Structure 1
Amino acid sequence: MTAPRADRGGATSKRAVVTGIGVVAPTGVGADAHWKRVLAGESALRRITLFDPTPYPSTLAGEVSEFDALGWADNRRVVQTDRWTHLGFAATRLALQDAGLAEVAGDPYQVGVTLASSSGGNLFGQRELQRLWSQPSRTVGAYQSIAWFYAASVGQLSIHHQFKGPCGVLVSETAGGLDSLAHAVRMIRRGTPVVIAGGTECPLSPYALACQLRGGLLTSSTDPARAYRPFDETASGYVPGEGGAVFVVEELGHALDRGATIYGEVAGWASTHDARYTDARQRGDATQYARAMELALERAGARPDEVDIVVPDALGVPGYDLSEARALRTVFGPTSPPVTTQKPLTGRAHQGGAALDVANALLAMHQGLVPATAGLDRPASGCDLDFVREHRQQRSDLALIAARGFDGFNSAVVLRRGSAPG
């Protein structure tokens, strides 16, 4: 097995590597199913089925179709939790299986959980609030207080799997999917050998859709093939999506001792903030966004010209796409590394989408194959980056993943390639 490159001091005792990937996405349940659909370029965007979207100007979404929560958790936990947490149960079990770890920790204090959260338990909350205001009893179920709480998934997963190490929740919208990995590294450096990180999302209820519509960034297109087109001259907004990815992040020595396959190392990370509200009139702060990427590269001990893949936020709103392109040029100069995004296949799943971007980057490095950018025909003016137009067979040693959370959050993570497929 080829371990990730040692740091400058040669120490490996506190380096964090990814040894398990669990994907639950509109494009498939499981990393293999998802990756096959990504390589086929098959979009999973459809008209919303979780409720009737007819009254709303945006009617499309990326849904995890035919998902059976009872296949991943017992009925007692399913009735206590929202679909967002159900997706988290599935992604976590898949990540543990992929890493070759038991579902119930042998030493519970050696496993921590740090997941991102964004909009919480929307479907559960919608149902209970409708019950409160539409029935004479004027009551809600006993689990309303916890099922839509932003920390529900972390709490339920730690209980279900008996993970009693440090636990935490990162709340920075889409940027949280990257922040969770950064926090996992901190936990490992403080002595926890295994951390569950990443995030899932289900922002698909009438209430959640109304909240997103208020921001003015959703597309009103009804054509799934043309609706979500980041950096394209026809970009008109984003399509919401559900799902995401969960990872087993492990201390390098611990992973090597048990012979785990290493997908990659979390080599650097950084976060900045715009101190600015997000709406359709803004573009985000390209300077602060670029600063997050530059800091992540600096902390990874990497130069911009060493980066082999960039996975951008790819909001699909013209002003924000232009701002993101400017930030990337600030970091990389006039010629960027290969840029690819698969969000037009899945929708934008908030923090779950950023976690899914990390999964895509790890799989691309692991397989030696960079997938083509989805949803792009002609780049908009000012967005002429080195977009991957066809799948590229290439060895990729370093990937930069960037994300922008609504209301000014910027995060970036640098991943270094791990071992060959095991």
Structure 2
Amino acid sequence: MSAKVVITGIGVATPNGLGVNDYWAATRVGKNAIGPVSRFDAAQYPSKLAGEITGFAAEDHLPSRLIPQTDRMTRLALVAADCAFEDAGVKPGDIPEFDMGVVTASASGGFEFGQNELKKLWGQGSQYVSAYQSFAWFYAVNSGQISIRNGMRGPSGVVVSDQAGGLDAIAQARRAIRKGSKLIFSGGFDASICPWGWVAQLAGGLMTTSEDPERAYLPFDANACGYVPGEGGALLILEDADAARERGATNIYGTIAGYGATFDPKPGSGRENGLRRAITTALADAGLEAGDIDVVFADAAGTPELDRIEADALSAVFGPAGVPVTAPKTMTGRLYSGAAPVDVVAAVLAMREGLIPPTTNVEPSPAYDIDLVTTARPASVRAALVIARGYGGFNSAVVVTAAD
């Protein structure tokens, strides 16, 4: 087996597109999917905007028995897994069950399912609480349900590191393949647009209170005032490059070439934030120099302090305005654990078309020394850096390179 781990299938569900083709058609032209919350009445809350997935009916894609035992995020993940299998041209039975595994990330688990069961507990009594509550809310449920549905009994698990989790899961999957597994599903999904989930997100103090969908989420803009949350994510099929070719895989999107992760020091310690080190570690792991990177997909927190930290880290590694930077998540909101896997998808599709997708609605502030791409930019993209940061100090970076 080779040390090269490649992406051979993609399943993606975001507010601006379901499936690879729809997602990229919207993203490449900057289609905004942020709007007023519709999944519940948000009038009483200070934040009223979200990136919601519309037009998705789980009943059209999944067996009826799965509906009552799954949260919305799990339904999205199960359908994405089906799409990824189809995209890769492989069926669950094609590969021995112990050679296939699932490593996913989740920041919140099945919040909406849990909220509904709590309502039954306090409003009707414990006898009305679903037995599925025992697992449907849990962070690991997506890995569990995907593995059960598809007969995948190889190395599996879940990573919980907020927005950084999606990249950490991909890195864990890459390790499993390098140890001998043939195929690992990896990525992340979150969908906590419900009152309980909303209160939890508001507690972080970083959500915008703007009610203008076009000017609410503005990373690297002088008017940045927080982020807009969204729902969705992406699942990738990762395979050993040699094993993929041996089974006849023809749809190879790119290679997971490098990874780095750090944790920030205690606030007030005077020590450097860990983001720069995560980036340089990922570059070193990929065997690349800063000048080899053609585009950076930014974490794009949307608050002045966090944007400053990211911009300074990029300037330190690449030089002032030294590399094109983009944040397509301004169209969808931040998808928590699903955000970075979606950025990985955008990166490999940018390589395929030769087009860097835009950071929409933002008027870049000259205070940040970065080359922010605000309109789609034709470019030869052979190597991309994806950055993700989780609340509380997580920093992760992945280098993705084009397929040979």
User: Quick check: 1:383 aligned with 2:368?
Assistant: yes
165-174 vs 390-399, which deviates more?
Answer: 390-399
- Alpha-carbon shift at residue 375 of structure 1 (Å): 2.6
Would the aligned equivalents of 1:177 and 1:198 in 2 still touch at CA under 8 Å?
A: yes
User: Taking structure 1 as the reference length, what is the TM-score of the superposition?
Assistant: 0.92
Question: Residue deviations 1:64-106, cap 9 Å, x none?
Answer: 1021112222111121010010110111111111111114554
Unpaired runs of at least 5, structure 1: 1-11
Distance 2:274 2:126 in 1: 51
Rate the CA distance shift 1:314–1:300 in 2: closer, same or farther, 3 A.
same
- Alpha-carbon shift at residue 259 of structure 1 (Å): 3.4
User: Quick check: 1:315 aligned with 2:301?
Assistant: yes
After the TM superposition, which residues 70-109 of structure 1 pair with which residues of structure 2 at under 5 Å, given as runs?
A: 70-109=59-98
| Partner SS, residue 315 of structure 1 | coil
Distance 1:229 1:126 in 2: 31
Match of 2:263 among 252, 255, 273: 273
| Partner SS, residue 310 of structure 1 | strand
- Alpha-carbon shift at residue 275 of structure 1 (Å): 4.1
| Partner SS, residue 28 of structure 2 | helix
Q: Which residue is equivalent to 1:411?
A: 396
Rate the CA distance shift 1:151–1:365 in 2: closer, same or farther, 3 A.
same
Q: Which residue is equivalent to 1:211?
A: 200
386-395 vs 404-413, which deviates more?
Answer: 386-395
Q: Which residue is equivalent to 1:397?
A: 382
Percentage of identical aligned residues: 44
Distance 2:253 2:259 in 1: 17
User: Quick check: 1:183 aligned with 2:168?
Assistant: no
| Partner SS, residue 197 of structure 1 | strand
After the TM superposition, which residues 308-347 of structure 1 pair with which residues of structure 2 at under 5 Å, given as runs?
A: 308-347=294-333
After the TM superposition, which residues 276-291 of structure 1 pair with which residues of structure 2 at under 5 Å, given as runs?
A: 276=266, 287-291=273-277
Distance 1:43 1:93 in 2: 26
- Alpha-carbon shift at residue 139 of structure 1 (Å): 4.1
Question: Residue deviations 1:148-184, cap 9 Å, x none?
Answer: 0110110001000111111110111111110111111
- Alpha-carbon shift at residue 371 of structure 1 (Å): 1.3
Paired letter, 1:131: K
User: Quick check: 1:260 aligned with 2:250?
Assistant: yes
After the TM superposition, which residues 5-20 of structure 1 pair with which residues of structure 2 at under 5 Å, given as runs?
A: 13-20=2-9
Distance 1:322 1:105 in 2: 48
Once superposed, what is the RMSD of the aligned Cα atoms? 1.6
After the TM superposition, which residues 296-307 of structure 1 pair with which residues of structure 2 at under 5 Å, given as runs?
A: 296-307=282-293
Rate the CA distance shift 1:86–1:204 in 2: closer, same or farther, 3 A.
same
Paired letter, 1:410: N
Rate the CA distance shift 1:16–1:335 in 2: closer, same or farther, 3 A.
same
Rate the CA distance shift 1:135–1:275 in 2: closer, same or farther, 3 A.
farther
Would the aligned equivalents of 2:254 and 2:348 in 1 still touch at CA under 8 Å?
A: yes
Paired letter, 1:140: V
Match of 2:230 among 230, 233, 241: 241
User: Quick check: 1:54 aligned with 2:40?
Assistant: no
Q: Which residue is equivalent to 1:251?
A: 240
Paired letter, 1:317: T
Question: Residue deviations 1:178-217, cap 9 Å, x none?
Answer: 0111111100011001110001110211111111111110
| Partner SS, residue 306 of structure 2 | helix
| Partner SS, residue 113 of structure 1 | strand
Distance 1:182 1:260 in 2: 23
Paired letter, 2:402: R
Distance 1:137 1:269 in 2: 46
Distance 1:323 1:22 in 2: 32
Distance 1:71 1:99 in 2: 22
Paired letter, 2:330: P
Would the aligned equivalents of 1:195 and 1:248 in 2 still touch at CA under 8 Å?
A: yes
| Partner SS, residue 339 of structure 1 | strand
Paired letter, 1:194: L
Q: Which residue is equivalent to 2:218?
A: 229
Distance 2:209 2:271 in 1: 25
Q: Which residue is equivalent to 1:45?
A: 34
Paired letter, 1:295: T
| Partner SS, residue 415 of structure 1 | strand
Q: Which residue is equivalent to 1:352?
A: 338
Distance 1:300 1:54 in 2: 47
Q: Which residue is equivalent to 1:201?
A: 190
Distance 1:360 1:198 in 2: 13
Distance 2:95 2:313 in 1: 45
Paired letter, 2:351: M
Paired letter, 1:321: D
| Partner SS, residue 334 of structure 2 | coil
Would the aligned equivalents of 2:28 and 2:355 in 1 still touch at CA under 8 Å?
A: no
User: Taking structure 2 as the reference length, what is the TM-score of the superposition?
Assistant: 0.96
Distance 2:203 2:310 in 1: 22
Paired letter, 1:152: V
**Count of aligned pairs between the two proteins:** 402
Rate the CA distance shift 1:21–1:59 in 2: closer, same or farther, 3 A.
same
Would the aligned equivalents of 2:294 and 2:323 in 1 still touch at CA under 8 Å?
A: yes
Unpaired runs of at least 5, structure 2: none
User: Quick check: 1:160 aligned with 2:146?
Assistant: no
- Alpha-carbon shift at residue 287 of structure 1 (Å): 3.3
